[in-house]
Amino acid sequence: MNLKQLQYFLAVAEEGQMTAAAKRLHVAQPPLSYQIKQLELELGVTLFNRLPQGVTVTEAGKLLVGYAQQLTQLSATAENKVRALAHGVTGTINLGTVSSSAGVKPNTALLKWLGQHIPMFSLRLRKAIRMSC
C-alpha cells in the first residue's frame, strides 16, 4: 500500500465514480482502476461495490477511509513542516502581558492564521510582574 493508492482510493470514495475521480486526479481511468485493484489485492478485500452507475464503499472500504484520510493528512503535514524548516519559516513568538490582562487569551483567528502560514512556530506567553520601588 502506498500513498498514491490511498489518495486514489479517497478520490473514488468521495466521487462515487471512477470516471469522476480520474478527472479530479488528472489521470486516465485505466491506471486509476489498476491502482485500486492492486490495493484491493494487497489488502485481500473488496473496497468498492462496482455498480453500473458508479461505486459504493464496502464496509472494509469505510474502515479504510478514516485511516487513509489520517495518513494523507499526516503526509501533507510532514511535507509542509519539512519545507518550512528548509525555508527558515520557524520560530518562537514571545508575547508579554501585564497582570491586569490576566485571563485574556490571544486572538484565535490570529493563532489560526499563524498556524497556517508559519507551521512551525511556538507561542510563549510571559506575564510581567509589577514591582514597586
Q: How far apart are CA 108 and CA 102, in angstroms?
A: 17
**71-95: pLDDT as tens digits:** 999 999 888 878 877 777 667 777 7
φ, ψ (nearest 5 deg) of residue 106? -60, 150
> Do 111 and 122 meet the contact criterion of CB atoms below 8 Å apart?
no
Which residue(s) pair with 55 in the sheet? 50
Lowest mean pLDDT among 11-15, 57-61, 128-132: 128-132
- Residue 107's pLDDT is 76
Instruction: State how far Cα 52 lies from the chain centre.
Output: 32
- Residue 19's pLDDT is 95
**26-76: pLDDT as tens digits:** 999 999 999 999 999 999 999 999 999 999 999 999 999 999 999 999 999
> Do 119 and 89 meet the contact criterion of CB atoms below 8 Å apart?
yes
Q: Model-level pTM greater than 0.75?
A: no
Q: How far apart are CA 28 and CA 114, in angstroms?
A: 38
From the number of C-beta atoms within 10 Å of its C-beta (0-12, 13-18, 19+), residue 90 rates as: middle
Lowest mean pLDDT among 5-9, 30-34, 37-41, 98-102: 98-102
Helix, strand, coil shares of the chain, percent, nearest 5, are 60, 20, 25
